[in-house]
Each structure stands twice: as C-alpha cells, then as structure tokens.
Amino acid sequence: MQNLQVDSKKRLFVLVVAILLTSSLVQAQSVWQEASPFPTRTYIWTYVGPGRYYDPILYMRMGQEKLFFYTQGAPPGLMQYRYPGGEWQTIGFTYFEPGEHWFGFCSNAIDPPWSTVGEYAIDFRWLDLASHWQTHSFIVHVIPPAQRLFTDDHGNSMFLWQGGTSSLNYPCLVVEGFDAQNTSFPQSYYKIGSSFFDQLRTYDRDVLILDFADGGKGISENAQFVKSALSYINSIKTETNSIVLAGLSMGGVVCRYALAEAEQNSQNLNVSLFFSIDAPQQEAVIDNNFQNYIKDHDQGTANPSLSSMAAKQMLRYNTYDPSGATHTNFYVGLNQLNGNGYPHLSRNVGVSFAPSTENPNSGEWLRVTLMFTGLEPIIDIPISEAAFYINPGDPWKEGGSYLPKSTTMQWGGVQQDIPFISNSIPMVILNLQINIPFLFYELDRQKNPTFIPHNSALDKIGGVSKFDVTYSSSTPRFHDEFPSELATPLLNEVLGPPEPLYVSISGPSTVSHPGKGQVNNYTWIANVAGGVAPYVYSWKKNGYQVGSNSPQYQEGFHFDGWNCDSYQITYRVDVTDANQGSTYATKNVVAWHSCGGEQDPFASDKTRLPEFSLPVEFGLGQNYPNPFNPETEIAFALPERSSVKIVVSDVLGRQILTLVDREYSAGYQRVTWKAVDASGTKVGSGVYFYRIAATGESGKQFTKVMKMNVTK
C-alpha cells in the first residue's frame, strides 16, 4: 500500500492465492447479535494510486453502498469520474490517516445511480504532479440488496438475503473460502453463486453468507465460528425447518470439520443438508517451483497467505512447510473425527468444478519478467526472467478446477493486487511524482494449472467418494467460477426430488362466433405442476403451431357465416421443464357459428347449449393459480349428476377440512378454497393435497388426489 523504492540487486515478488481454503488449532467461542439499525450506506474503498495494481472488478449491494477511490504519496491535482458516454465530473478529496501504515488522499463518496441488478462501468482518474492523468476503468457487478446483518464479538459477520416474504424460515448458510488478507467479501461470493442463490430465494429460502474476520486462521478455529453461527440461526429462525449448510472452497472443509466435531460431541446443529463446493477435502495444489520462487524472493518476510496455517494444511506441497507434516497431520485428524471425518445426521453433497479427466493444458503456463524502467527518458529494459510449466506427472496436471482468475500478488510485503488473466499484464511501478528509476514485474499467464483436483473435491479413494452424492462440471472451470449447469441439480437437493411433470388446460369448453363486426376473445391456460421450473410452452390448434413461450393462449373468434352449425377444435399444449422432462395436455372445444343473427344466439338463452358440451367422463383439474395466496379454484368434471366430496389434507395425511360434500348436476364445476382449515384459520405455507370422491347416479365412482402449494 506504499510506494516502494526498489534495490537494484534484490527485489521480491510474492503470490497470494485468493481462494485457497483454511484452518487452525485454536478453539474459539463467539456471541452473535443483529446489527441494528441495518447499515444501508456502507462504503467500498478502491485504491488507484501508484505502486499497486488496481482491481478492475468491483461488487456492490444495490442501493446500499457507495464508492471511494484513494491514492497515496503526493496529493493529486484533481480527481474525476464518469459513466460510459458521460462527461468527466470533478469530485473533491481529503487527506486521511486512519492507521499507522495506512494514509492517503480519498475522493468524496460517489453514489452511483444504478437501480437494478446487473453489470455497469465507471471510469476514475486523478492528475499527478507531472500533470499526467492516471486513468482507471472498472466493471461493477451490482447484486441484490441484503436485508439483515449479524455480527459476533470476534469480528465475523453474516449478511442475509431474504427469500419470499418471511425472514429466516428456511435458512441456508453459505461459508466463505480462503481469505487470509480479508480481501474477499460476501458481495463477491453472492455474485459467483448467483445462478444458485437467486433460485434458492425464488423458492422462499434465505441465503446467509458468513464472512470470517480472519479467513486465514486454522480450520478448527473457524469451525467453532461456524458452529456458533448455526446455533445462533437456530435460536432466531421463525420456523422449525432445518438448516442447509454450504461451504465454498475452504469453507467446505471448515463446515465438514464443524459438523463432524459437533456430532462427535453430541451437539445437534439441526443441519439436514451439507454442500462441499469445490473444496480441497484431500488437498489443493500450486506449482512447487512457483512457490519456491515466491519464498526465494520474500527477503525473510514470509508470504502471509502461503505461510498461513490454512495454506500449510490444505496444500499438498507448501514451500513454508516442505516436509508436509502440517498437511498430513491435519487430514489424519480430520478423518478421525466422528468415525470417518463426516457428519452422519445430514445428507452430504460433494461438488467439483471439473471432470476427472486430465488437465488439457501443458507446457509453459506463466512467465515472469523483471524489468527496469527509467523516467528520463522513460525506457523499459528486461533484467531477468522465470518460467513455470505444466508437465506430465505434475499434481497441477491432474484433472480438477483451475487456479482462480482472481489470484493476487504482493510486492515487498505490501499487498499488490495483480489478477492472473489470460493476457500479458505489464505492472509498472512508476511514481511520476519523484524522478528515480524503478523495477517492476511483467506477468504473462498463458495456460491454467489445476488447483483443486477432482478427486480431492469429491473425496474419492479408489474411485469411491465419501459423500452421499456428488456432482461435477462437464468441463474444467476456474475455481472462482460457479458452473451454471450445477445450479438446477443443487436446487433439487434443497427442494427435494421434483414431482412428475403434469399439465392440464383450463378455459372454456364451448365458444361462439359473434355477429358481424364483433370479436369474442377466449383464453386457455396451461396449469403446470411438478417438474423443475422454468417451463417452455408450445401451443397447437388442430395440429398446427399457434403459440409458444407462454402459459396462456388467447384466440379471437369473428363473424364467419349465417348458419347454426358447430365444429370441434382440439387445443394442445406441450410443456418441457428445466430437466428436459416433457408432457402435454389437450382440450376439446366446441365452436358455434353466428347462426344468422347479429348477436351471439346464446347470449340470453344459455339453455340452448348442446348436450355434447357436457363432459364425457369424470375429471379433476389442477387448482389454479398454483402456487397461490390467498385463494385458489379447483375444477372438476361430472358426466352425470353425482354426489361429490372434496377433502383437503396436509403432507402428514391429516385432514384440514371438507371443502365439498353435496350433490352436483352434470357439467364442469368449480369450487374455491381460501387456504383455511375447518375453523376458518389461515393455514401455513407448504404442500397440501385435495381428494375428490364422486359417485354418479348410475353408480359409477371416481376418486383422484392432486397436490397444491400455499405460499406466504
């Protein structure tokens, strides 16, 4: 964070792995409480000064955070910002010195106008003492606003993104990965897993993201914080539902440790489902030669990430613990917890961001060039180079997820963020405020080594996983890139296996053409149950395509002649769900011509409807709407006069009320349920069943049961 003058004989440069995964040996207890009032206007600090690479990717909670840009060294002449296509706007700045080694010049707060979730851009620049503009461009990912914040007395925190209308009725706790220098925040984790988290919230699940105060501590210590967080959630959640626990990267190992240790000590944390998401349940790997290069250039100051307890425990080889004793002892101890190192009261799901096939990359993956630059004149001269390779037999050649895109670097013990991306990144440590030469490193990452092996993420031994069920990406992904293809199967784990896909069509069974100059509009609706949303719809009329991508089909009937004949139309809707399951439903409709008059001949005399418009068999339709609140309509068909009884029950088979118990004439009938029990009290949200038992005057009997969902 400071400008660093470089000795020409010796210079250091150090890798900081952004998403390793963590652990420690110290036990800790914590006391949680809710932050009140909720901090709705917090700040994102972004460095744009000399001597440090700026992070071009930012994350913000919509409407809840402001931007600050700051630099260090001599004061800037001006600070300005602009949005794409806009003019530069001058903004004030102030000097600040909040800490012993932290000082600089900070812009006034920028409150962006972004009012929807999405990706945006902003440019920022400052004028140095040589009258040169130093310009930086940022991509800002705006995520949904959080609703609540919880903190403990150790500096850990949990942001809550609420699902549905009730808070903490279906809690899902997500635990962050390795973060030894506290540079990753819940906003970035939410964005990475948004394809999964957004769907969870759609289904009334609340997403909490646990952010450790020190994401580089040992696993046993951070596991205590996970246990205390789970206990706190159990004490404040609004319903008796169990908790879903998901550990991202290192968080998967921390959660596994916490659950196994809790069960071994007879502590019930009320977790029914545990996700380990691309976590090193056996090991993580980083190029041995690259680690050694880092240590050789640390000038006696150990890299704070690689030398952390978490890194020593997770990495197969660690340059600061070359014997591997810490790594070996940790996993031996973990696997002895609770018998086999796993919880037994939860369903345990392992996730890998890569298939088992070998890493397709080989050859040089990274080249580092030490450069000399002078200011008068400005000239860059290469001094030395180092190259690192992916070779057959290397651990980083195994099948697995790639080293994260957001891996960072350090200079001289002072954080120097340098994302490892695919193109060459010149890093010029150039202080235009003073006239001296500098050294800098140029990095060129050409290929991607493995970081979390597939077998480690799924904890496979001899091809057999210790998890109850496993999921893998079909192609290798970066460790910090959630595969969208896994969102649906993981959602199904949370919601339970989907019901079989079913569709019915509601709408008129008889239509009529109007008199001259008029149009009669009719609508048919596809009522879908089961399967996995979203659904794709396709409508046909007498075999011909007439509509798509909508659960409704509307058609207008015009005057078409002077006769009283009728004809039959067959409507069909085909439905495909997200799992590529498919089904269809048909509905026969009788259409009548205008019968020679100027008006609908049945407008005043509905008794003239033809007998064959009556149902030919018993039937029970899907309630509509579904899910619903506060009421829904249930349709049933009677081909003859019948005694009908409809009973509503809950998932345990307990009868809620008798909705109908009387005789009905033949025809299409409907009854409304207002989501109340026999006493008139509103029922809770959840799944209910309705059963019809009908006996016709001919003695023919009909029974059927269908499911419906009440939401809050």
What are the tens digits of pLDDT across the range 175-190? 999 988 787 889 989 9
Rounded Cα distance between 394 and 372, Å, is 33
The pLDDT score that the predictor gives to residue 422 is 27
Tell me the pLDDT tens digit for each residue of 461-493: 999 999 999 999 999 999 989 998 998 899 889
User: Are 572 and 625 within one domain?
Assistant: no
* Best-predicted range by mean pLDDT (31-45, 388-402, 418-432, 506-520): 388-402
Asked which of 125, 146, 167 is the last residue of a domain, the reply is 146
State the residue for tokens 């499911």. Answer: 707
Is the Cβ–Cβ distance between 85 and 122 less than 8 Å? Answer: no
Would 569 be classed as within a structural domain?
yes
Rounded Cα distance between 417 and 408, Å, is 5
Would 206 be classed as within a structural domain?
no
Would 95 be classed as within a structural domain?
yes
**Structural domain tally of the chain?**
3
User: Are 518 and 585 within one domain?
Assistant: yes
Tell me the pLDDT tens digit for each residue of 695-709: 999 999 999 999 999
Asked which of 115, 130, 146 is the last residue of a domain, the reply is 146
The CATH number of the domain where 140 resides is what? Answer: 2.60.40
List the structure tokens of 387.
């190259």
* Best-predicted range by mean pLDDT (3-12, 418-427, 629-638): 629-638
Q: Check the CA dihedral 346-347-348-349 and report its sign.
A: negative
Asked which of 580, 613, 646 is the last residue of a domain, the reply is 613
- Quote the DSSP letter at residue 87: -
- Quote the DSSP letter at residue 232: H
> Residue 166: pLDDT band by 50, 70, 90 thresholds?
confident
> Residue 608: pLDDT band by 50, 70, 90 thresholds?
very low
The pLDDT score that the predictor gives to residue 522 is 94
Q: What residues are paired with 620 via a beta bridge?
A: 636
The pLDDT score that the predictor gives to residue 48 is 82
Q: What residues are paired with 402 via a beta bridge?
A: 450, 478
The pLDDT score that the predictor gives to residue 425 is 29
Closest CA to 706 of 686, 687, 694, 690: 690
The pLDDT score that the predictor gives to residue 666 is 85
Tell me the pLDDT tens digit for each residue of 621-676: 888 888 898 999 898 888 899 999 999 998 888 899 999 999 988 887 889 999 99
- Name which residue leads in pLDDT, 377 or 441: 441
The pLDDT score that the predictor gives to residue 573 is 94
pTM, to two decimals: 0.67
Rounded Cα distance between 228 and 29, Å, is 7
Q: Is the omega angle on the peptide bond into residue 534 within 30 degrees of 0, that is, cis?
A: yes
Instruction: Give the domain extent around 96.
Output: 39-146
> Residue 52: pLDDT band by 50, 70, 90 thresholds?
low
Cα dist. 164→142, 161, 200, 627, 641 in Å? 20, 10, 10, 13, 43
The CATH number of the domain where 560 resides is what? Answer: 2.60.40.10
Tell me the pLDDT tens digit for each residue of 232-259: 999 999 888 899 999 999 999 999 999 9
User: Are 581 and 599 within one domain?
Assistant: yes
Report which secondary-structure segment, H or E, holds 22. Answer: none
pLDDT at 564 over 50: yes
Would 592 be classed as within a structural domain?
yes
- CA of residue 68 relative to chain centroid, distance: 27
- CA of residue 679 relative to chain centroid, distance: 41
Q: What is the mean pLDDT of the chain?
A: 82
